[in-house]
Amino acid sequence: MTAQGRTESLRRRANEAFRPAAYDDLHLQAPEMLDDRIGRSRRTPMLVRSAVIALLALTVAPLAPQSVAADWADPSKVLRIAFPTDVSGFDPAGTQETYATVVEGRIFDALYQWDYLARPFKFVPSIATGMPEISADGRIWMIRIRQDIYFADDPAFGGKKRELVAADFVYAWKRIVDPRVRSPNSDLLEHKIVGLDAAVEKAKSSGRFDYDAEVQGLRAADRYTLRLELSQPDYTFLEILDNTALRAVAREVIEKYADASGRAMRNPVGTGPYRLKEWQAGHRIVLEPNPGYRDERFPPAPVNADSGVKAVADSMKGKRLPQIGRIDIAIIEETNPRLLMFNAGQLDMLDLPGDVAPKMIDDKGTLLPEYTAKGMRLERATELAVTFAYFNMEDPVVGGYSPEKVALRRAICSAYNLPDEIRVIRNDQALKATQPLPPDVEGHVPGYKGLSPYDPTTARALLDKFGYRDRDGDGFRELPDGKPLTIHQLSLVGAVYRQYDDLWLKSMREVGIRMDFQVMTFPEAFKAAHAGQLQLSSFGWNGDVADDFMRLFYGPYAGAGNISRFKNAEYDALYEKSHRTPDTRERNKLYEAMTKIVSAQAPWCTNVYRISNTVVAPQIRGYRKNVHYFLTPWEYLDIDTTARAARRQ
């Protein structure tokens, strides 16, 4: 599918939205006074990519929370899956790791989401009643939310049902920029909303963010209407509204459970289909259905659906969401134990890492016969993600913009044996990344060569030319001033990462660069990256649209999404212009120019676009791979308990 095809619906909706609103927004009434329990403020964070529940095709009459129906969330149906890493917690304002946001996506509702079944992909309302109403100048946005949405019951609400209101989004979004919270997702809103930056500066001066003070560009126009005033027209803003970070939280919950940093990482309370039942850090995460979840049904197949989509829709026709009564997530860092558990029937789905792919699929990307004979099926796609090694641009050794610093970074990228990573470690379950934007994201430049390919000869020549030479004959180069040169690379816990370490070590030795490793858990590494404490580190990033990736190099976002802390005035100007540019083709030209700057300055070594292989056991119903969801939303799945019993025999 082409990039233009996959985003056609979104662009059409966004462009249609920038029309004169059917009201005179200069004469809007002041927000109604909300009851003091909820009439205060809002919060939220992030990116990897996630989204939530409910589809545009559903027509649901407003309902108050009701008793659990007999056809809903069968407690005997337990979905067993595994994560390769633990999470730091479940506060949307405090997290950005992929697996944390996957769980948060089941607990907290999005305003908008990617339609689960539609192909080409469609961006549709979730708990919003429709697309935003936008003023003629593109700056005033009115987003109306549904009136049948309730938070899961929690002691923070004093035994009362707690309805979701527009003020909850105001509070959640303010939390993202609260200096005390130090959200890694603050770049989603910084410099975009009238009055919000001033509120942040005031909080920095006073030491406290005033959640009760009105922000001109972020307020509740009434109980169910969110009113936004953007600093300037932004033709990419719609695309971030599915972000996990921008989901509503209740102020009462945060004030009851927040730690010293203002984060409530262990007590997520949302309006989504599931709630957190148990979290044993490093071992297990358990979700259970939210008893107050509204009546949502599995969506019908789109008119243009292929036979596969129709079969999925038919198998789930009319079913209330969610069907599964428990999500049991084991934290298993090593890949082989996950494979063994799947083979033993102890896991229902397996996202197959490249290092064990040959044990289940052949070189044509087809599931091996011994698995198809058991009714297993494979769904495969190139992820909307890129892996990369980033340099800390503020580091005295690898950072900076002088020619010798750029040469060092480019040499390291050229010296790294990426072909061996793809062929040996990933077993060809990846494509070489030439640019930050993955192939199916609009703005990707087909045929672009990117940074120099693997070429240790060129790397050595670059190092020689700019004064990185072996002066003492020990086989390793020194800095141009004669001081020792050692590159400190992050490594993560897990056997597969030892393979990457060995490959990096061998690659650097071939060009005379000494390297050592700092070993951390993923949550530790995530925290260190945002604090600017790593010199060279490899990560992956999931997104949906171009801005999800291009904002990672925007100077004002340094330390938030921009973990490389890259700053380039020309890039920043192009990035800002991309937000003001309504024409897709013109915006893509800007993305190409930005990509060339990144390639020239090399704050990243772009590594691979991963191929996702998901093996699904025969008892799973409702599964359809959608690349806009890193993991399939579990509320759309069901389990055939008879088929599960047969598999275990």
pLDDT tens track for 254-296: 999 999 999 999 999 999 999 999 999 999 999 999 999 999 9
For the segment 447-471, what is each residue's pLDDT rounded down to a tens digit?
998 876 899 999 999 999 999 999 9
In this structure, are 123 and 242 located in the same domain? yes
How many structural domains does the chain have?
2
**Does position 67 have pLDDT exceeding 90, yes or no?**
no
Q: Which helix (H) or strand (E) holds 272?
A: none
Examine residue 105 and state whether it is found in any structural domain, yes or no: yes
d(CA 242, CA 334) in angstroms, rounded, equals 31
- Do 324 and 78 contact (CB within 8 A), yes or no? yes
In this structure, are 278 and 399 located in the same domain? no
In this structure, are 267 and 157 located in the same domain? yes
What mean pLDDT is reported for the chain?
A: 88
Question: Which residues are CB-contacts of 148 (< 8 A; sequence separation ≥ 6)?
Answer: 60, 61, 62, 63, 64, 294
For the segment 570-628, what is each residue's pLDDT rounded down to a tens digit?
999 999 999 999 999 999 999 999 999 999 999 999 999 999 999 999 999 999 999 88
d(CA 258, CA 235) in angstroms, rounded, equals 35
Examine residue 403 and state whether it is found in any structural domain, yes or no: yes
- Write down the residue that tokens 């379950």 correspond to: 429
β-pairing, 486-492 vs 514-520, is parallel
Q: At what angle do helices 166-177 and 196-206 cross, to 10 degrees?
A: 60
pLDDT for 618: 96
In the Cβ-directed half-sphere of 196, how many Cα atoms lie within 13 Å? 29
In this structure, are 442 and 576 located in the same domain? yes
Of 5 and 186, which is predicted with more confidence?
Answer: 186
d(CA 639, CA 323) in angstroms, rounded, equals 8
Q: What is the mean pLDDT of residues 10-39?
A: 33
Examine residue 496 and state whether it is found in any structural domain, yes or no: yes
Q: What is the mean pLDDT of residues 376-385?
A: 94
Lowest mean pLDDT among 297-306, 389-398, 500-509: 297-306
pLDDT for 71: 81
Examine residue 531 and state whether it is found in any structural domain, yes or no: yes
In this structure, are 37 and 175 located in the same domain? yes
Nearest to 629 by CA among 15, 52, 74: 52
Examine residue 43 and state whether it is found in any structural domain, yes or no: yes
In this structure, are 285 and 391 located in the same domain? no
In this structure, are 285 and 389 located in the same domain? no
**Does position 41 have pLDDT exceeding 90, yes or no?**
no
In this structure, are 274 and 405 located in the same domain? no
Examine residue 337 and state whether it is found in any structural domain, yes or no: no
The full DSSP string for 298-350 is: PPPPPTT--HHHHHHHHHTTTPEEP-EEEEEEEE--SHHHHHHHHHTTS-SEE
Among candidate residues 289, 309, 343, the one where a domain is terminated: 289
Phi, psi of 297 (to 5 degrees): -120, 155
**Does position 35 have pLDDT exceeding 60, yes or no?**
no
Question: Which residues are CB-contacts of 214 (< 8 A; sequence separation ≥ 6)?
Answer: none
**Does position 51 have pLDDT exceeding 70, yes or no?**
no
Tokens read off for 197:
């930056």
Burial class (CB in 10 A: 0-12, 13-18, 19+), 26: exposed
For the segment 124-149, what is each residue's pLDDT rounded down to a tens digit?
999 999 999 999 999 999 999 999 99
Examine residue 308 and state whether it is found in any structural domain, yes or no: no
Among candidate residues 260, 289, 318, the one where a domain is terminated: 289
Among candidate residues 264, 289, 314, the one where a domain is terminated: 289
Q: Which helix (H) or strand (E) holds 153?
A: none
For the segment 610-625, what is each residue's pLDDT rounded down to a tens digit?
999 999 999 999 999 9
Proportion of the chain above pLDDT 90, given as a percent: 81
CATH number at residue 434: 3.10.105.10
Q: Which helix (H) or strand (E) holds 565?
A: none
For the segment 335-374, what is each residue's pLDDT rounded down to a tens digit?
999 999 999 999 999 999 888 999 999 989 999 999 999 9
In this structure, are 256 and 389 located in the same domain? no
Examine residue 38 and state whether it is found in any structural domain, yes or no: yes
Q: Which helix (H) or strand (E) holds 142?
A: strand 140-144
pLDDT for 648: 66
Say if residue 322 is preceded by a cis peptide, omega within 30 of 0. Answer: yes
In this structure, are 278 and 396 located in the same domain? no
CATH number at residue 82: 3.90.76.10
- Do 96 and 529 contact (CB within 8 A), yes or no? no
pLDDT for 212: 98
SS3 296: strand
Range of the domain at 518: 385-610
Looking at mean pLDDT, say which of 20-29, 115-124, 386-395 comes out highest.
386-395
Q: At what angle do helices 403-415 and 584-601 cross, to 10 degrees?
A: 90
For the segment 523-565, what is each residue's pLDDT rounded down to a tens digit?
899 899 999 999 999 999 999 899 999 999 999 999 888 999 9
